[in-house]
Homo-oligomer: A and B are copies of this chain.
């Protein structure tokens, strides 16, 4: 019965198997047919075509290869020319050593174990935690009831109120907690509204090229038409409205109804901070073309240059009341910024200019999932409401925040500078976000070699880089890029020593690669 037709998980199972009775209950009352004609319902030939079409490069084949190399490295005679894998494929700061901020983690420790907030334990708790940590935890537990209870489908009220205060202080314009949905990361809200918007494959969404592949994947899953628009590498990855309007006209000509427009600002994978002109022009375009504006603003705290972040909401409001009809959804997340709390899957969506009965539909859709995880909701609250000057936790908070931001700035600058010294590589500086998207002028020999292997040339380059150095980056083709250009996306999240090592390895690899294929 426990024969080898089951995959066992090794030794672990023996214990259980041996405890079983030798003969298992007879099921002779059933006709023991062999069901030879069984046709699996979950078979590649019979799956939803949209699911098969979706792609997600950030955790794609190259990352699976990296994982296999990492396993091989654990063997004594691995024969690899490097001793560790450097993951630069994903914006996952704490996985590459970024420490969590103390304040939110201390509060989380109390809200998850509210026994420590009881009067009888307070003498101990107050030795462990500053007064503002205890006060915040008390407020959050009171508002949620328990971190272990489903919340309102929009999120815990106190958390939404803090989001509103944050938005109002950021923009100088009012917000409303009824228009805030707390979500599992930013993706959940994006997917929900896209799902409402897309009726069939004649509905299209404007997506930047290059883009974060969540958007192309979501469009593919919904069977939406992608209407690509170019970010102009020669203009610091600004929006090229001429090519955008041409792409829009072309889509309409083939029967597509444009329904929405995605803008990622600061940009992923491109790192630009959009100009006010670009943003205003975008809003105008959305109003002219009846488009919902999806503003992916998850990198709003990751800004490194002189251009400050400005939200689409602020830009919209400053344009004046005649622009109020604009339907805007703004997304934020706990995963990015200097907070970097990806694992908490916290985030919010602000709905601006959405009709009341559509708000009800969004609420219904979110209520089918009951609510986003409450730990993530509380982490979102702490992101938007950090310790303030004069509060006990502020000095530590300020120091931790500045250390992370200063280091990110230095690393962003250094990486771009080194990339720009390499033959056939050029790279815009990161004005924001967590990525660089250098362009590689691949030699004809490399393109031919890639084609011979049936590989996309930039994926070929990235595989060679991984195999030679252990550095894992994502090919530009995973994000989209102007025809005939090749790029890769790298984070600059590993610590400074690791970044130095990575840059040295990369430079050596790149020079060798260019020599080999020139």
Contacts and interface: CB of A to CB of B under 8 A. Distances in A.
Nearest to A220: B368
A287 B59 contact: no
B344 A44 contact: no
Interface in A256-271: 259-260
Contact of A43 (B169, B355, B368): B355
Interface stretch (A50-58, A460-468, A476-484, A507-515): A50-58
Nearest to A374: B343
Contacts of A247: none
Give this chain's copy count. 2
A392 interface: no
Given A42-B196, A370-B185, A373-B343, A318 B25 contact: yes
Interface stretch (A99-107, A238-246, A409-417): A99-107
Contact of A369 (B92, B151, B187, B361): B187
A387 interface: no
A421 to B, nearest CB: 32
17 contacts: A8-B174, A9-B168, A9-B175, A16-B172, A20-B172, A30-B281, A35-B322, A38-B325, A47-B199, A92-B149, A93-B149, A108-B112, A148-B342, A151-B343, A221-B368, A343-B373, A375-B375
A168 B35 CA distance: 26
Contacts of A290: 38-41
Contacts of A364: 54-56
A164 interface: yes
Contacts of A214: 368
A116 interface: yes
B149 A94 contact: yes
A332 to B, nearest CB: 16
Interface string A63-77: 000000000000000
Interface stretch (A139-147, A225-233, A446-454, A494-502): A139-147
A113 interface: yes
Interface in A19-43: 19-20, 24-25, 27, 29-35, 38-43
Contacts of A433: none
Contacts of A5: 321, 324
A150 interface: yes
A195 interface: yes
Given A54-B365, A112-B109, A340-B148, A373 B355 contact: no
